[in-house]
C-alpha cells in the first residue's frame, strides 16, 4: 500500500482529552485503511489525532468523528479552502448533535457513517466520496472550459465584426496583429504582407509591414525579405503551415530556418517562444504572415531582460495555435477583401482620371478646370460642415459623401465628349473655315473688279480714250478695292466675341445684301444667312443653336454617368453632376429644376464652376477676371436667384480659393 508518513505518531497523555475511545478507534481505523488492498493507490495520513486524510491526486477525503463537527470544528480549518472549492470532502463517523446538516453539506459533507463502520461500509463511503469529488471536478472543469469557450467565441465574434468592417489596409493590418496578440497572450508580434504576382512563390517577397511590442519601444521601418525557408516567416509563407517554436535560441540542429539575434541585441529584448501562421486568400494563396512573439503567463508584466523572459514567457499551447489559425482564416479573407477593395478604388480612380484627361484633350483651353472645380467644391463642402447655425447648421458629410462629391465634380463636364470639338473650342463667332471662305470670296470679288476694270481700260484704249478716262478707271478700282477690304474689316471686327453695337449689326446686314459675280456670271451674296447669324451674336461667340449644343453636355454627362454601376456609396454621382447648371429660380438646364429640387452638392458645384470659369487663365474667347470681380459676379448671380446666397457667403467667408491648393493632374485623389 502506498502511504505517506503520518504527522501524528500516537496519542500522548494530554492530547484530545475526552476522546480516548475515538482516538483508539482512529488508531485501528488507520491500520485497517492502510491494509485495505482496494485503497492501495491512495495516500493515507493522520494530520491530527482526531482526523484521517485519504488523498488521490488533487482530491482529498477527511475522516473525522462527529464530535469534531460538534465541538472541534476548528480542526477542519486547514481543509476549509479545498472543501469550499470542491477539492475535498468530509466523512463523519457517527451523527452530529445538530439535526440540521445543511451547513455541513454546504461545507463539503459527503457521507455519514456509524461510529464504528465495517470495512466494506467504509470502502463504499470512501469510493463514493471520491467519485463525487471527481464528478464535481469534471463539472467544474467543463464549466471553466465552457466559460473560456464562450469568452473566446465572443472575442472571435467581436474580432470578426471588426475585421469585416475595416476597409483601410493599414488599419486592418494593425487590427489583425492586435487581436492576434490579445487572444493568445503574446507580448509582441509582427505582420508581413506578400508582394508580387509571380506564380513561383520563390520569386515573391515578404514586406515587413507592422510590428507591436508591449515591453519595449523602438523605431522601425518597413523592409522586404525573399520568400524562402531560411526565415521563419518565409518558411510559413512557402509551406502554408503554422510554426510553433518554444525557444528560438534552441532550434533543432537540422532546422531549415534560423533566428537572427541582432534585433534582440539592438533593442534590449529577449525573444523566446514564437508562433507563426499564414494568412490565406479564398483561393488558398498566402497573402501575409502573422508572427507572434513570447506568450506570457501574466499579460500585465513586461519583459525587460533575459531573466524576465525565463520567468514570464511560456510556449504557445495548442489552444493558442487553434485560436490563431481561426483568427488567421478570418483575417486572410478580410485582408483579401481590403486588397480587392483598394484595387477597385484604384481602378475607379484610374477611370475617373482617364475620363478627365479625355475631357481636357477635347478642350485643352480648359485644362485643369475639372480638378479645380472638384477641389473648390469639396473645400466648400467642408466649410459648410463647419457651420453650426442657419440652414446648413446640421449638415455633415461622411468620407464616402465627400468622395462621391469629388467624383461628381471631376466628371461634371464629361458630357462635352458628345459635343462637336469645333463648338467646344470656338474662340470667334465664325469658325476658322468660315472666315477663310469669306476671305476667299472677297479676294475673288477684288480680282473680279480688277478684271472688269482692266477689260474696260482695254476697250477704252482701243477706242483711243483719253488719259483722264483711264485715270478715272484706276480711281474706281482703288475705291472698290478699299470698299471691299473695309467690308471684310467690319466682318473681322464683328467676328470678335465682344458686345455688338447696333450700327455694327446694320453694317453686317448691309454687307450681306451686297453681291459678287462668279465666273459663270451668277451673283452671290458676300455672306450666307448662317454667317450673318453667327456674326450677329450680341454676346460671346456662340449662336443660340451652338449654346444649346454646349448645354447638351449636361444631358450627355448624366446619361453617361448613369450607365456606370457606381454602387450604393456613390449612387448619386450622375444626379449631382447632372444638375450643376440648374438655377434656383427654375431657369437653368437641362431640367429647369427649382431650388428645393436641386441637390445641395449640385448647388455647391455651381458656385465652384462659375468661380473657376471666371478666374481661370486667359482663354481665346475671354480674359481672366480678378477674384474681386468674380465675387461681385457671384453676388449678381445670387440676386438673379441663380445660386444659393448662403452658400456664396460661406464660400467667401472661408476664402475657399485660398485654402484649396492646386494639384497636378497626376496626383491621386484626396478622398
pLDDT tens readout for residues 623-645: 788 999 999 999 999 999 999 99
Tell me whether residue 350 is in a domain: no
Q: Kindly state whether residues 90 and 202 are assigned to the same domain.
A: no
Q: Burial code of 346-371, b = ≥16 C-beta within 10 A, e = fewer?
A: eebbeebbebbeebbebbeebbbbbb
In a domain, residue 664? The reply is no
Which pLDDT tens digit goes with each residue over 428-459? 888 888 899 999 999 998 898 888 889 888 88
pLDDT of residue 610: 93
Q: 528 and 557: one domain?
A: no
Whole-number pLDDT of residue 204: 86
Q: The domain that contains 569 carries what CATH number?
A: 1.10.3210.10
- Contact in structure between 278 and 183 (CB atoms under 8 Å): no
Does the pLDDT of residue 663 top 60, yes or no?
no
pLDDT class of 7 with cuts at 50, 70, 90 = very low
Q: Residues 590-606: what's their mean pLDDT?
A: 95
Q: Quick count: other Cβ atoms within 10 Å of Cβ 300?
A: 6
Torsional sign, CA 199, 201, 202, 206 = positive
How is residue 70 written as a grid cell?
Answer: 460538534
Q: Is the pLDDT of residue 501 over 60?
A: no
pLDDT tens digit sequence for 48-99: 888 988 888 778 889 989 888 888 888 888 888 888 777 888 888 888 887 6
Among 210, 228, 230, 223, which Cα is nearest to 291's? Answer: 210
Q: Quick one: pLDDT band at residue 13, thresholds 50, 70, 90?
A: very low
Q: Are residues 456 and 603 in the same domain?
A: no
Residue 357 in domain: no
Residue 482 binned pLDDT confidence (cut-offs 50, 70, 90): very high
Which H or E run includes 210?
strand 205-213
* Distance separating alpha carbons of residues 407 and 409, to the nearest angstrom: 5
- At residue 263, the pLDDT reads 86
Q: What is the pLDDT of residue 604?
A: 96
pTM of the model: 0.62
Give domain status of residue 665, yes or no.
no
Say what the pLDDT of residue 236 is.
93
- 106: CATH: 3.40.1350
- For residues 254 and 389, membership in a common domain is answered with no
Q: Which of 44-48, 144-148, 415-419, 509-513 has the weakest average pLDDT? A: 144-148
Q: Which three cell numbers stand for residue 599?
A: 441637390
Q: What is the dihedral of CA 644, 646, 652, 657, to 10 degrees?
A: -50
Instruction: State residue 91 phi and psi, 5-degree precision.
Output: -120, 120
* Domain end marker among 120, 139, 158: 139
Out of 515, 541, 567, pick the residue that ends a domain: 541
Cell 472571435, residue located: 156
- Asked if residue 502 is part of any domain, the answer here is yes
471 and 488 both lie in a single domain: yes
> Are 650 and 515 in a shared domain?
no
130 vs 378 pLDDT, higher one: 378
Average pLDDT over residues 94-105: 73
Q: 144 phi and psi, to 5 degrees?
A: -65, -40
Handedness of CA 458, 459, 462, 464 (dihedral sign): negative
The residue with cell 463647419 is: 386
Element holding 630 (H helix, E strand): helix 627-639
Residue labelled with grid coordinates 464562450:
150
| Band (664; pLDDT cuts 50, 70, 90) | very low
Separation in Å, CA 634 to CA 493, 601, 652, 659: 30, 17, 10, 19
Looking at the structure, tell me whether residues 210 and 320 fall in a common domain. yes
The answer to whether the CB of 417 falls within 8 A of the CB of 358 is yes
Q: Is 553 in the same domain as 534?
A: no
User: What value does the mean pLDDT take over residues 501-508?
Assistant: 68
Q: Are 192 and 335 in a shared domain?
A: yes
C-alpha–C-alpha distance, residues 184 and 257, integer Å: 24
pLDDT at 656: 94
- For residue 274, what are the contacts with CB-CB under 8 A and spacing of at least 6? 232, 243, 244, 245, 248, 291, 292, 293, 294, 316
* Residue-level pLDDT at 657: 93
Helix 600-615, helix 369-386: angle, nearest 10 = 130
- Judged by DSSP in three states, 278 sits in strand
Helix ranges (DSSP H) in 411-543: 421-424, 432-462, 467-494, 502-513, 529-535
Domain count, the chain: 4
Same domain, 382 and 467: no
pLDDT bucket at 4, cuts 50 / 70 / 90: very low
Residue 405, number of CB atoms within 10 A of its CB? 28
pLDDT band at residue 143 under the 50/70/90 scheme? low
Give the structural domain span for 200: 166-341
Q: Of 491, 506, 541, which residue sits at a domain end?
A: 541
Task: Judge whether 313 lies within some domain.
Answer: yes
Q: Answer whether residue 34 shows pLDDT above 70.
A: yes
Residues 178 and 314 in one domain: yes
Residue 235 belongs to a domain: yes
Q: How far apart are CA 184 and CA 187, in angstroms?
A: 9
The mean pLDDT of the chain is 84
For 415, counting Cβ atoms within 10 Å of its Cβ (0-12 exposed, 13-18 middle, 19+ buried), the class is buried
Q: Is residue 366's pLDDT more than 90?
A: no
pLDDT beyond 50 at 131: yes
Backbone angles phi, psi at 659, to 5 degrees: -80, -20
Confirm whether 381 is domain-assigned: yes
Helix pair 318-362, 369-386: axis angle to 10 deg:
120
Which residues 6+ apart lie within 8 Å of 503 measured at CB? none
Task: Give the pLDDT score at 273.
Answer: 94
- List pLDDT tens digits, range 198-252: 777 778 889 998 999 999 888 888 888 888 888 999 999 999 999 999 999 999 8
* 172 and 305 both lie in a single domain: yes
Cα–Cα dist 376/396, whole Å: 17
pLDDT (0 to 100) of residue 81: 82
Amino acid at each position: 500500500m502506498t502511504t505517506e508518513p503520518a504527522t501524528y505518531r500516537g496519542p500522548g497523555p494530554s492530547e484530545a482529552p475526552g476522546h480516548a475511545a475515538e482516538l483508539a478507534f482512529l488508531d485501528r481505523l488507520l491500520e485497517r485503511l492502510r491494509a485495505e488492498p482496494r485503497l492501495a493507490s491512495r495516500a493515507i495520513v493522520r494530520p491530527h489525532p482526531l482526523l484521517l486524510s485519504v488523498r488521490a491526486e488533487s482530491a482529498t477525503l477527511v475522516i473525522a468523528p462527529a464530535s469534531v463537527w460538534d465541538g472541534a470544528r476548528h480542526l477542519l480549518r486547514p481543509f476549509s479552502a479545498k472543501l469550499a472549492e470542491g477539492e475535498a470532502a468530509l466523512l463523519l463517523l457517527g451523527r452530529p448533535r445538530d439535526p440540521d446538516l445543511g451547513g455541513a453539506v454546504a461545507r463539503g459533507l459527503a457521507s455519514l457513517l456509524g461510529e464504528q463502520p465495517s470495512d466494506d461500509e467504509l470502502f463504499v463511503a470512501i469510493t463514493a466520496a471520491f467519485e463525487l469529488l471527481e464528478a464535481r471536478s469534471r463539472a467544474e472543469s467543463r464549466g471553466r472550459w465552457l466559460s473560456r469557450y464562450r469568452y473566446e467565441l465572443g472575442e472571435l465574434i467581436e474580432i470578426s465584426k471588426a475585421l469585416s468592417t475595416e476597409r483601410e489596409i493599414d488599419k486592418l493590418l494593425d487590427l489583425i496583429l492586435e487581436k492576434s496578440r490579445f487572444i493568445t497572450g503574446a507580448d509582441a508580434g509582427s505582420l508581413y504582407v506578400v508582394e508580387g504576382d509571380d506564380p513561383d512563390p520563390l520569386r515573391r517577397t515578404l514586406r515587413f509591414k507592422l510590428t507591436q511590442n508591449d515591453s519595449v519601444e523602438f523605431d522601425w521601418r518597413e523592409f522586404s525579405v525573399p520568400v524562402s525557408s531560411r526565415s521563419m516567416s518565409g518558411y510559413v509563407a512557402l509551406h502554408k503551415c503554422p510554426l510553433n517554436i518554444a525557444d528560438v535560441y534552441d532550434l533543432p540542429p537540422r532546422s531549415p530556418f534560423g533566428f537572427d539575434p541582432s534585433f534582440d541585441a539592438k533593442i534590449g529584448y529577449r525573444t523566446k517562444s514564437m508562433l507563426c501562421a499564414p494568412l490565406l486568400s479564398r483561393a488558398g494563396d498566402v497573402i501575409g504572415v502573422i508572427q507572434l512573439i513570447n506568450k506570457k503567463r501574466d499579460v500585465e508584466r513586461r519583459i525587460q531582460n533575459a531573466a524576465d523572459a525565463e520567468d514570464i514567457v511560456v510556449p504557445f499551447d495548442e489552444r493558442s495555435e487553434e485560436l490563431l489559425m481561426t483568427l488567421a482564416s478570418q483575417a486572410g479573407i478580410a485582408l483579401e477583401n481590403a486588397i480587392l477593395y483598394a484595387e477597385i478604388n484604384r481602378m475607379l480612380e484610374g477611370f475617373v482620371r482617364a475620363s478627365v484627361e479625355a475631357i481636357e484633350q477635347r478642350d485643352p483651353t480648359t485644362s485643369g478646370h475639372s480638378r479645380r472645380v472638384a477641389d473648390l467644391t469639396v473645400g466648400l463642402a467642408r466649410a459648410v460642415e463647419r457651420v453650426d447655425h442657419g440652414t446648413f447648421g446640421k449638415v455633415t458629410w461622411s468620407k464616402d459623401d465627400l468622395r462621391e462629391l469629388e467624383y461628381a465634380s471631376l466628371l461634371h463636364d464629361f458630357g462635352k465628349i458628345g459635343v462637336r470639338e469645333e463648338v467646344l473650342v470656338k474662340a470667334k463667332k465664325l469658325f476658322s473655315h468660315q472666315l477663310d471662305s469669306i476671305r476667299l470670296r472677297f479676294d475673288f470679288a477684288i480680282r473680279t473688279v480688277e478684271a472688269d476694270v482692266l477689260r474696260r481700260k482695254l476697250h477704252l484704249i482701243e477706242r483711243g480714250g483719253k488719259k483722264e478716262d483711264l485715270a478715272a478707271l484706276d480711281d474706281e478700282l482703288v475705291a472698290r478695292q478699299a470698299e471691299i477690304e473695309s467690308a471684310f474689316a467690319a466682318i473681322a471686327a464683328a467676328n470678335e466675341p465682344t458686345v455688338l453695337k447696333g450700327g455694327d449689326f446694320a453694317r453686317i446686314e448691309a454687307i450681306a445684301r451686297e453681291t459678287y459675280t462668279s465666273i459663270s456670271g451668277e451673283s452671290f451674296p458676300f455672306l450666307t444667312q448662317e454667317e450673318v447669324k453667327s456674326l450677329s451674336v450680341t454676346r460671346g461667340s456662340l449662336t443660340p443653336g451652338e449654346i444649346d449644343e454646349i448645354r447638351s453636355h449636361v444631358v450627355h454627362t448624366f446619361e453617361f454617368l448613369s450607365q456606370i454601376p457606381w454602387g450604393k456609396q456613390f449612387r448619386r454621382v450622375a444626379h449631382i453632376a447632372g444638375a450643376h447648371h440648374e438655377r434656383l429660380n427654375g431657369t437653368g438646364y437641362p431640367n429647369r429644376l427649382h431650388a428645393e429640387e436641386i441637390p445641395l452638392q449640385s448647388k455647391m458645384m455651381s458656385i465652384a464652376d462659375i468661380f473657376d470659369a471666371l478666374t481661370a487663365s486667359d482663354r481665346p474667347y475671354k480674359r481672366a477676371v480678378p477674384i474681386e470681380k468674380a465675387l461681385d459676379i457671384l453676388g449678381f448671380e445670387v440676386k438673379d436667384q441663380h445660386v444659393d446666397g448662403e452658400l456664396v457667403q460661406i464660400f467667401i467667408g472661408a476664402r475657399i480659393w485660398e485654402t484649396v491648393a492646386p494639384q497636378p493632374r497626376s496626383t491621386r485623389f484626396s478622398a
